[in-house]
Amino acid sequence: MDAPAGYRVTGSLTAKCLEGRSMKKFCAYFLFACLFMLFIQWVYAAEKGGPKYLYIKATKVPPQHPAYDKEIKCEQCHVYQGVDAYTAATMTLKLSKTGALPREEIEKRIAEIVKGTGDYREIYVLSTAYDNKPLATVIEFVLDPKTLTFYAMSEKQTEKLFHMAANRYVSLAYVKQLEHHNYFKEPLSIQVVGTAQILKGTDAGFDEALDIYAPTLPLQLTPELLKAIKATKIVTKVTPERIIMRDYTQKEKGNRMVQIWERADKN
């Protein structure tokens, strides 16, 4: 049985209204989806590259630019390549042999820079991280110039030790203090990225580390003192994977001011 004409008109209008509402909902959802995708792409782009204003525009090589092979193009260096302790521009210097020191000379110069008074003991900033929270600690390290390994001694139950126990990846920074404070013109520093090993008195390697570190202490090394150290102290051994050296004296010799050393036996 057919519905009365009035009901048919009302039903038709209702259907059109429902259809209109559905279309509005669809448009709203579609717009939201588009905006969401744009947001995701923006976040992803930020992770991959960061904002454009951070990049160097390839125009003219500035006079302070380090020496490099002329066949290397600007965009090979000045591009973001993921999160790293060093910029792509610094690491791309490895592609250029111009101005680069031989590996042995870099090792020798690093040891000279942090020689201190002759015992290779210097003050550094140790950077650690735990649960995405960084910590910078001012601490003395002693370098073994034969292996380019760093050693430090600490009290137990300090924050940096808990960081390194959970996350062995660390970095060190040393800057030669200058009386004239002209660090832009005469920088002399090293930046270290590596892994830390925490050694207690009963661990293998503690005695070897103590043999390197203990002679630099301004104390008389009696058997009683050494026994107390083994019982109460923690030795941190930092094995570098990479060292970036900034040495203004190299520029005077026609070399690059920035030199890169990487450990050969990364395994």
Distances (CA, A) of 66 to 73, 101, 211, 213: 14, 13, 40, 36
d(CA 54, CA 37): 24
Distance in Å from the first CA to the final CA of the chain: 86
Cβ neighbours of 255 (radius 10 Å): 18
Q: Is the pLDDT of residue 161 over 70?
A: yes
How would residue 85 be classed by pLDDT, with cut points 50, 70 and 90?
very low
Q: What is the pLDDT of residue 47?
A: 46
How would residue 178 be classed by pLDDT, with cut points 50, 70 and 90?
confident
Q: What is the pLDDT of residues 246-262, one digit of tens each?
A: 998 888 888 888 999 99
Q: What is the pLDDT of residue 11?
A: 54
The encoded tokens of residue 160 equal: 């940096």
Considering 83-97, 116-130, 218-232, the range whose residues carry the highest mean pLDDT is 116-130
DSSP structural state of residue 80? -
How would residue 60 be classed by pLDDT, with cut points 50, 70 and 90?
low
d(CA 60, CA 72): 14
Whether 76 and 91 have beta carbons less than 8 Å apart is answered as: no
Q: What is the pLDDT of residue 179?
A: 77
Q: Is the pLDDT of residue 172 over 60?
A: yes
- φ/ψ (deg, to 5) at 212: -85, -40
Sign of the alpha-carbon dihedral angle for 209, 211, 213, 214: positive
Pick 4 or 263 by higher pLDDT: 263
For 58-206, strand residue ranges (E) read: 121-130, 133-144, 149-155, 169-175, 188-199
Q: What is the pLDDT of residue 219?
A: 86
Q: What is the pLDDT of residues 12-52, one digit of tens each?
A: 555 555 566 666 666 666 677 766 666 655 555 444 555 56
Range with the poorest average pLDDT among 57-61, 109-113, 198-202: 57-61
Closest CA to 144 of 39, 237, 254: 237
Whether 201 and 194 have beta carbons less than 8 Å apart is answered as: no
Residue count of the chain, please give it.
267
d(CA 102, CA 107): 9
Domains of the chain by residue range: 5-48, 99-262
Domain covering 99-262, topology? Pnp Oxidase; Chain A (2.30.110)
